[in-house]
Amino acid sequence: MAATAPPSPLIPTPTPPETASLRNPIFARIRIAYSSDAPLLHKLIYQLAAYHRRTHIFSSTESSLSATLSNSQPFQSITIFLLEVSPTPFPDVPVGYEPPITRILNLDLPIVDPESQEFGSGGEAVVVGFVLFYPKYGILLGKAGFHVAGIYVRECYRKKGFGKMLLSAVAAQAVKMGYGEVEWFVFNWNVNAIGFYKKMGAEFHEQTTICRLAHDALQACGSLS
């Protein structure tokens, strides 16, 4: 009878390093913007105007933003969600009117932000972007909703989930308030934004044309009454 082969030596299962699940974690927070945030918001809105090729009509000022935010009740008038990030957790304390939304994102690579000092918002926090929205009424739907007037994420933070966080925050607030829709406009040339919105499940109305009265045309039309 052949001898029984000795048992194979036990090979311990390798233990993955503790940092494997969080390669490059970054802490994100969405909160309501207040008048004290006007200087940072003014810079962000100018960058949005540059991205949309509209700096020639940019006339917003820090003072006008501060006054608007001071006189606006969140969700009943103009509201701005501000998105901040930090390499360390945000303090677990109330911030303003509503509790902030916090997330931990695990990135493949760390983000190099050349404007981190310019957009610093206190401590290690840096402002990434914003979304501005206000109530509307869907006359055919028969329900109130939100109109998003502007959403923007700074260039080095794009395609990392931050735009999705901002738009989702507005949608969640609409659902919370029993609203029926969230709508916004997008330029036809902005294929990146269009692709992003389609992934978010947005419907597109190709036959709609935006009409606007502004400046001299607004004054002239108003004088007809």
Per-residue pLDDT tens for 88-101? 999 877 666 788 99
- pLDDT beyond 80 at 2: no
Indicate the helix (H) or strand (E) that contains 206: none
User: Stretch 69-87: mean pLDDT, rounded?
Assistant: 95
User: Stretch 165-175: mean pLDDT, rounded?
Assistant: 97
- pLDDT beyond 70 at 166: yes
Q: What is the pLDDT of residue 47?
A: 97
Annotated catalytic residues are 197
Token output for 204: 């597109």
- pLDDT beyond 60 at 19: no
**Side chain identity, residue 174:** A
Nearest-Å Rg of the Cα atoms of the chain is: 24
* Residues whose CB falls within 8 Å of the CB of residue 105, separated by 6 or more in sequence, listed in order: 25, 26, 27, 28, 160, 161
Q: What is the pLDDT of residue 139?
A: 92
